[in-house]
Structure 1
Amino acid sequence: MSETAAFPVIQTERLVLREIVERDAEQILAMHGDPELMRWFGTDPLKDLAAARALVKRFASWRLDENPGARWGIQVREQPGLLGTCGLFRWDRNWRKCMIGYELATHAQKQGFMRETLTAVMTWGFAQMALNRIEAMVHPDNLGSLKLLRQLGFVDEGCLRQVGYWGGRYHDMLQLSLLRSEWPAANTD
């Protein structure tokens, strides 16, 4: 991924996963400014539109970093607006691994959108980034996310004690991973 390469748009049965752009800042603020939704994200909620615009720029900068990645906006086909975001980041090309992170607006949860998104993004990552491993760090109380990742084949690797800090306190995080050999869609060559 580089500055000159076109952003990798991914289409699924119901969704378009596309670049997050400046016009999405208000919706990013609605999600990333929601304390309930952000309780698992690993950062304090955004306070204003300027912070949301800065986050949009940070997501765009991942494509230029030494350890790049991509953050997709999740949109229902033929409908304006974002349901959430999903990203592959901290790409270590030498070790062929990266992290995955995501969030989904409260109104869009429990409809299979994140499963559809993760399936498409991970398939793309194994194929286009030549990944061998995708890692996820999840708060132990984020039962919905843990359930989804485990259903998709992620394996628990352990607890990272007090590795996170947001909301004025330290948080443990569970480390999970998925290997290329465990992802059927990556092995259809």
Structure 2
Amino acid sequence: MKAPVLETERLVLRAAEPRDIDASAAMWGSDEVTRFIGGKPRSRQDAWFGLLRGIGLWEMKGFGYWVVTDKANGAYLGEAGFADFERGLPKELIWGPEAGWAFGPQAWGKGYGTEAVRAIHDWLDGTEFASSCCVIEPENSGSRRVAEKLGYSHTGETLLGGVPVYTYRRGA
């Protein structure tokens, strides 16, 4: 299964392609972007593995990640989707696919995150998955606001790799 193309007023969400590696590596290599997502910039190879993982999830799980682009000019803005990362987090805090999103600084403060994450949840709502979760570092106020706008409720706190995180749930 391949990621379906999703369109919003300003965005196109599509499957990752080899041409996305430069923009993805630049985004994931940024201290600003990774400050609350793992805490350290990722290598080009790790960005590549992330794109591949996002594609592979579609085949294995029936959901995965999209590359988010600007509808007007095709510019890469970020990545959003759903995963099953087998993180070993407490089962009482994690339900269904785990939503995740990351955008480069050029996309911040423009509502692209909310627009893209709403689109992926509209897609998820049309599938057999009745609920989803997300894991967000407490200091990541931007992602917490996006999650809350989309109906996520705070379910608890735990550690992920020794780092405190909040867990959220949406749906049944």
Aligned partner (choices 50, 58, 63) of residue 63 of structure 1: 58
Task: Give ranges in structure 1 of 5+ residues lacking alignment.
Answer: 181-189
Give the number of equivalent residue pairs.
165
Q: Supply the AA of the counterpart residue of 1:136.
A: C
Q: Aligned ranges for residues 11-160 of structure 1 at < 5 Å?
A: 11-42=7-38, 44-48=40-44, 50-65=45-60, 67-90=61-84, 97-128=96-127, 130-160=128-158
Task: Compute the displacement of 1:158 (Å).
Answer: 1.0
SS at match of 2:4: coil
Task: Compute the displacement of 1:39 (Å).
Answer: 1.6
SS at match of 2:58: coil
Which protein is bigger by CA-based radius of gyration?
1
Rounded to whole Å, the distance in 1 between the matches of 2:129 and 2:49 is 29
Rounded to whole Å, the distance in 2 between the matches of 1:52 and 1:97 is 25
| Corresponding residue of 1:187 | none
TM-score where L is the length of structure 1 = 0.79
Q: Supply the AA of the counterpart residue of 2:134.
A: A
Q: Supply the AA of the counterpart residue of 2:53.
A: R
Q: CA RMSD in A?
A: 2.2
* 1:164 partnered with 2:163: no
Runs of 4+ in 1 over 4 A off after TM superposition: none
SS at match of 1:119: helix
Task: Give ranges in structure 2 of 5+ residues lacking alignment.
Answer: 86-94
SS at match of 1:103: strand
TM-score where L is the length of structure 2 = 0.87
CA contact (8 A) 2:100 2:134 kept: yes
Deviations 1:79-133 (A, max 9, x none): 1221000011129xxxx821100001111111111111111100100103x2211
